[in-house]
Chains A and B, each alone.
Chain A
Amino acid sequence: MNLKFILTMAWYYGVKTIVRGPSYLIASLATPLTLLFLVFVLSHGALVKFAIVGGLIAFVGSVGLSGAGDSAFFRLQLRIQDLYVPSKVSPFDYMAAFTMSYLVFSVPGIVLYIYLGSVYHLFTAYDSLVMVLIMVLLIISTTSISFIISGSIKHLRNIWGITGILTIITSILPPTFYPYSYVPRVFLYIIALSPTTPAAVLAQGAFGLSPQLNIMLYVLIIETAVYAILARILVRWREN
């Protein structure tokens, strides 16, 4: 594992880009915060805690999925991926570097949501620890999905549309901004294909907003592993 490369990319592409291109971070936060506002207004504040927890998940998930655009752009347009193939960077290192960059890039947004959560007395130390674990699994799984998508496309133009659709599907459709108990159980398991679903269910359980459904922890762990393996296969590191 090339930890030096992973940390360097996380620093440059995760931290420096926040300072040099803050609009990207603001854009990532815009949809979840808008939905938070809508949920607050429409539910007269009743579901605001769901929207805070869900907004955090939607935000981290959308940052991970936006990696599809970056990784496709790096591979097809900038040819950066080809540059790193003949080096000591493995496909795993490359994907881990992206994942770490997005995790670091998400920190200001996460801090904002932690602040909002503290205003509503939502987070305790133990719950926050659970949330960190969920966030780490979520960023790994969504970044893996982004590599699966970017490795499958041939034309860059397609990636923006696919990413946009996927971000909406994974942010709005799963029970991120509303109680998961509203969703019929069968349908809940179908939409659990999106990592944001088990993440949201687990988070709602951890913060006492809904009953705990611990099976979703296994779902999240297994699908994170499956998506990571698929991403490794489809990353097109050495093309045929």
Chain B
Amino acid sequence: MIQIQGLSKEYGKKQKALDSITQDLDNGIISIIGKNGAGKTTLLRILSTQLKATSGDALIDGLSITGNIRQIRERIVSIPQEAAPIGILTAYEQVFMYLTGKGFSFHSARQESIRALKSVGLSDKMHVPTDELSGGMKRKMFVAMALGSNADTVFLDEPTTGLDPLSRMETWSAIKELTGNVVLTTHYMEEATELSEKIYMMDSGRFIGSGTADQLLYDLKDKVRVESLESMPGSYHVGNMYIKYVNRDDLSKYENVYYSLKKISIEDLFIIRGVDLES
């Protein structure tokens, strides 16, 4: 359980990355979703003791990120956004090195590295320099570090950003192997739905909602998304497009204007909460 207590982060006097957040994050695999600049990475870096907060505190399994830094660092793993391997070294070497950094003996590090790399499907590539691996394989190597370390809590910052669909699916299956609590940030709504039991939404340095995908979408459950290039009363203006959420029964009213229909997804919550309503 992570308890965030009035956490703020300011860069200079004007830029607030986190705005006095107070929020409990559940155990299990949870996702924090939000647009770019919502404060997801800042929050994760503070929780994983890489960045100091301006004010406030957070407890990870009862340990304070301001007062129990050493104990927290021993219990967590944090895979940074866009982390990349040292290309000249193999996946095995890097996982082994990481585990020695986590305090494992040489013998245990060797055993756990092999076990973890096998678990994420890299058994036949573990002794190949990582320069020669695909993007998905590289990400899976980092997940193997988390897996091998048996951490209580794992922070994954946008673990599949920039990957092709197949590599993303490979990485997802590796993430599902993790046994401890997992906090991941993403702006892929599909990823949050696929991986996590609970989703937390962030915008402008604050949490703006939480729940399962079904709970978050409850108000939109009987609706569809109508997209048009023409303005519609009560629509949301996104780029050159107008979006409106309508009941299925009323769809016939929009036959003359709509050019596409879409199923509701978590992305729609951001459209509703993050975009100004057309007047």
Q: How many interface residues does B have (CB within 8 Å)?
A: 38
List of B residues within 8 angstroms of A5 by Cβ: 97, 100-101
| A16 and B102 contacting across the interface, CB-CB below 8 Å | no
Main secondary structure of the interface of A (DSSP, over half): helix
| A83 and B83 contacting across the interface, CB-CB below 8 Å | yes
Given contacts A9-B97, A86-B72, contact A20 B129 (CB under 8 A): yes
In the complex, whether B228 has a CB less than 8 A from a CB of chain A is no
From A8, A13, A21, contact of B100 by CB (8 A): A8
Which A residue sits closest to B82, measured CB to CB? Answer: A79
Number of A-B contacts (CB under 8 A): 93
Given contacts A239-B51, A239-B52, contact A82 B80 (CB under 8 A): yes
Main secondary structure of the interface of B (DSSP, over half): mixed
Task: Please choose the segment from B84-92, B115-123, B237-245, B268-276 that sits at the chain A interface, where 4 or more of its residues have CB less than 8 A away.
Answer: B84-92
| B78 and A83 contacting across the interface, CB-CB below 8 Å | yes
Which A residue sits closest to B89, measured CB to CB? Answer: A12
In the complex, whether A80 has a CB less than 8 A from a CB of chain B is yes
In the complex, whether A240 has a CB less than 8 A from a CB of chain B is yes
| A2 and B49 contacting across the interface, CB-CB below 8 Å | no
From B73, B82, B86, contact of A85 by CB (8 A): B73
Q: How many interface residues does A have (CB within 8 Å)?
A: 28
List of B residues within 8 angstroms of A4 by Cβ: 100, 103-106, 109
| A82 and B84 contacting across the interface, CB-CB below 8 Å | no
Given contacts A4-B106, A12-B97, A21-B88, contact A240 B79 (CB under 8 A): no
Q: A79-B80, A239-B50 are in contact. List 8 more A-B contacts (CB 8 A).
A: A2-B103, A8-B97, A78-B84, A85-B48, A86-B78, A87-B74, A87-B98, A239-B51
> Which B residues are within 8 Å of any A CB, using their own CB?
45, 48-52, 69, 72-74, 76-86, 88-89, 93, 96-98, 100-106, 109, 129, 142, 145
> Which A residues are within 8 Å of any B CB, using their own CB?
2, 4-5, 8-9, 12-13, 16-17, 20-21, 74, 77-80, 82-89, 93, 238-240
